[in-house]
Structure 1
């Protein structure tokens, strides 16, 4: 397994060509790709703008090429997972037959993002238990990809419709004057607070509070990587009650405090 941070400076357009024997994850850390073209295994895929936090997954053996244009300064996290390791993970999860995951370009997922960040931090400054920690995070990452692609997964019953779930998530991510309350979200969907809480958890596997907390941590990690704001300023911007609460929650999620996390990413 390997993780590298790739930086781009002074280049608004870049060409892409990737053909690897291993599974590859590429996460945008800084900068936005606003337009371009992606071709995977000879098939053109609709291009979507890629902002900080967006993830690309290319299964082993996939041929990805194309180009993108965007901000002149950008950086990406590239994580490569050996096919043999992934096959063992899939064999244990996918019930009776190997899982085949399709390529995916430009998606957002909090669980996958946290796993990728933790893998990178462990590989940057390894200690005697880093190998075990990396394997655990890689297993979680691959399992999440199975879940996102619905491999051997029963559809959620009693959850929100895909349309209502998108409305709720959009409200959580775009509200500029603070995070929405449970009452706000339930009112937007037109159901009781209890019904919304139960249906949201059924659809996402997380309570609304846990989902919002995860989104706050993702936003704070993006800001630590891409801005020069202090940890206290980021804590306030992301809705944490205090800098100490922010530091505790961030270290629990990422395995490093805000200051250490920023320092490691800027090495």
Structure 2
């Protein structure tokens, strides 16, 4: 059994966005079969979450579920995990209504669907988070920016699936970008918040590149600097901890690598427009 709290909803043409927190029993199981193509970003995905696609005749073996997933319309996904609170940004698209998604309007067999369990694309994740931020805390010309980001999202999704097989086997792409495997290695390292902080030279060493070459490839691949990427991950984790726990701000600041609660509060307010205390009050 689960309950949920909806923070925001948005409909733009054939696209719908929902920001929601689910509170699952421990452990939890669920089956989803959406009628619309669904892209889901779970900002609090537990590493032990697993699942598989299935139909009436066969089922894929259980696989690890990543924080970003895609469920094609009409396909069934079984998932299981440790339960607890999970924040989700879900963007769904009406099947057959968006030309940019035409490459995905096809027959998916179970081997194809394995690409959907763990989408490793900072561009797609960042676009979802930017839309969400504009919906939750609108700024100047938010409507124009939201329209542009929503139009870009199906394009990025289709591009990902067209290049995904090559990205999984090639260390650096032919277009001078980091591979999906390299990006995931970097993200996993950053999320652990190593003692002493995250340095560009350490990230470069993880993927066997010089610092200068790594910074060029990272910007070309994600559209952002490594520093901005690290700040984005810290903000994501901070939002999850504030919304789903009663952990003191001092403890959150220390866990995320901030020197003091004051520096954490300053960075959080700069990125969201809210103080950590205000965010916790609004979303808990």
TM-score by length of 1: 0.69
Say which of 199, 203, 217 aligns to 2:235.
Answer: 217
Q: Which moved more, 1:221-230 or 1:4-13?
A: 4-13
TM-fit CA distance, 1:232? 4.5
Counterpart position of 1:95: none
Counterpart position of 1:174: 192
Per the alignment, do residues 115 and 252 of structure 1 end up closer, same or farther by CA in structure 2, a change over 3 Å counting?
Answer: farther
- Checking the alignment, whether the CA contact within 8 Å between 2:54 and 2:76 is kept in structure 1 is yes
Equivalent position SS for 2:104: coil
RMSD: 4.2
1:250 is aligned to 2:268: yes
Distance 1:16 1:236 in 2: 37
Per the alignment, do residues 177 and 15 of structure 1 end up closer, same or farther by CA in structure 2, a change over 3 Å counting?
Answer: same
Distance 2:119 2:21 in 1: 19
Counterpart position of 1:48: 63
Distance 1:231 1:126 in 2: 25
Per the alignment, do residues 4 and 185 of structure 1 end up closer, same or farther by CA in structure 2, a change over 3 Å counting?
Answer: closer
TM-fit CA distance, 1:238? 1.6
Counterpart position of 1:32: 46
Equivalent position SS for 2:176: coil
Q: State the aligned residue count.
A: 254
Per the alignment, do residues 190 and 37 of structure 1 end up closer, same or farther by CA in structure 2, a change over 3 Å counting?
Answer: closer
Gaps of 5+ in 2: 1-15, 168-172
Gaps of 5+ in 1: 92-97
TM-fit CA distance, 1:170? 4.0
1:229 is aligned to 2:247: yes
- Checking the alignment, whether the CA contact within 8 Å between 1:30 and 1:226 is kept in structure 2 is no
Counterpart position of 2:25: 10
TM-fit CA distance, 1:191? 4.2
Per the alignment, do residues 145 and 224 of structure 1 end up closer, same or farther by CA in structure 2, a change over 3 Å counting?
Answer: farther
- Checking the alignment, whether the CA contact within 8 Å between 1:114 and 1:253 is kept in structure 2 is no
TM-score by length of 2: 0.65
- Checking the alignment, whether the CA contact within 8 Å between 1:8 and 1:73 is kept in structure 2 is yes
- Checking the alignment, whether the CA contact within 8 Å between 1:37 and 1:44 is kept in structure 2 is no
Say which of 100, 106, 123 aligns to 2:104.
Answer: 100
Counterpart position of 2:4: none
Instruction: Please give the per-residue CA displacement for 1:126-152, whole angstroms capped at 9, x wherever unaligned.
Output: 999776564344334434323433469
- Checking the alignment, whether the CA contact within 8 Å between 1:118 and 1:255 is kept in structure 2 is no
Tell me: higher relative CO, structure 1 or 2? Use CA pairs within 8 A at least 6 residues apart.
1
TM-fit CA distance, 1:56? 2.5
Distance 2:259 2:98 in 1: 43
- Checking the alignment, whether the CA contact within 8 Å between 1:157 and 1:202 is kept in structure 2 is no
Counterpart position of 2:82: 71
- Checking the alignment, whether the CA contact within 8 Å between 1:29 and 1:225 is kept in structure 2 is no
